[in-house]
Homo-oligomer: A and B are copies of this chain.
Amino acid sequence: MQLNVGILGATGYAGAELTRILLGHPQTAEIHLSSVSFEGESIEAVYPNFLGNTEKIIGGLKKAEDVIESADVVFASLPHGVGEDFAKTCVEKSKAFIDLSADFRFGADEPTFAAWYGKGYRHPELRRRSAYGLPELNREAARRLAASGAVIIGNPGCYPTAATLGAMPALARDLAGNGAIIVDAASGVTGGGRASARAYHYPECADNVSPYKVGCHRHTPEISRNFAAISGEIRPVIFTPHLAPVNRGILATIYIPLADAYAPSPALPPKETAPRPPSKEISANAEEIHAIYTEFYKGEPFVRILPFGAAASTNQVRQSNYCDISIHLDQSGSTLIIASAIDNMVKGAAGQAVQNMNIIFGFEENAGLTAIPALF
């Protein structure tokens, strides 16, 4: 099967990355692009990197309505709150709608969405046709919806993707004890989009590391809901994003208090002046947890549990749809420390969106997503 695909908001970074991936996808026929800012121009005028690769792209940058008209599946990379009308049109016309904004990430939980995004839903009823699009968590829901008619996918946020994949086996396999889970994460600058701003001005963010939106980032409730969906329990989540001087990538370091069964006894270190290096018992516990993670993600095409002893790093997933995960314990053995790395533009946005398309259309899940990361 060959699809005609449409991309709304093709000239933002996520839109351009969607364009790049879909141009190389074996099941795309025509590609239609919309842009408000650059309507009427060609995509290669806005992104010269596409020069010579635009055969599949039909016409220049068009109106959203025209793109929807021509497409079997529509990707929307628009500001939050802007795409609901387009989603409605797609549902009415039985076209799949894969939304990279937050509009469909919260399903029926409009109060949480409204509390963090400042307004309610425009068409609440659309959530009956929507699924949260983290395949490793929710693949079957998307498939089921697709089987029964038009489907809307709420493609996850970048940080929630890294955080949820990193914590999922611990939560699903009851490794986590009580207490807050802390997600401390760093993102590359493409996460801020293509619009110019002081914070993303080269001399201000090169050679610099800094946290932002501490205690109030909108991805916090999405992470929290995912954790609850996995473990069936609501537990406190603390999330701190940082900006790091890399183009692409998210590295999430996740601190999960271990359940008693996995922590050494006593769970607290002995009352010495200072902690000791990790004991052999603790190291053995870590290996056991590593085995649980490996087993949990067996068969997943895009999650790689790194060999025990290695640490996840963003350059090992750059330009790929992988999520790399490494497993560690603190020296006392009472806290599980997970490092989870993704390319924020691929698994954290465009790649995952294409993975969702593959799932709902029954393609190979990695179709168009076989790029091997390059390290350097």
Contact = CB atoms under 8 A, between A and B. Distances in A.
A214 B246 contact: no
Contact of A310 (B48, B196, B216): B48
6 contacts: A209-B314, A211-B326, A214-B337, A222-B274, A224-B275, A236-B268
Contacts of A201: 194, 196, 200-202
A138 interface: no
A62 interface: no
A281 interface: no
A244 B245 contact: yes
Interface in A29-51: 47-51
Contacts of A236: 268-269, 275, 330, 332, 334
Contact of A221 (B189, B275, B307): B275
Interface stretch (A96-104, A123-131, A176-184): A176-184
Interface residues of A, number: 112
Contacts of A272: 111-112, 234
Interface in A202-229: 202-212, 214-216, 220-222, 224-225, 228
Of the candidates A198, A329, A330, the one having the most CB atoms from chain B within 10 angstroms of its own CB is A330
B228 A203 contact: no
A23 interface: yes
Nearest to A269: B236
A310 B49 CA distance: 12
A91 interface: no
Interface of A: 13, 16-17, 20, 23-24, 47-53, 109, 111-112, 115-116, 179-180, 182, 184, 186, 188-190, 194, 196-198, 200-212, 214-216, 220-222, 224-225, 228, 234, 236-240, 242, 244-249, 251, 253, 255, 268-269, 271-278, 304, 306-307, 310-319, 322, 324, 326, 328-332, 334-335, 337, 339, 341, 345, 370-376
A215 B376 contact: no
Given A234-B273, A240-B337, A374-B49, A215 B329 contact: yes
B247 A214 contact: no
A244 B115 contact: no
A251 B180 contact: no
B246 A209 contact: yes
Contacts of A328: 211, 214-215
Contacts of A242: 186, 251, 253
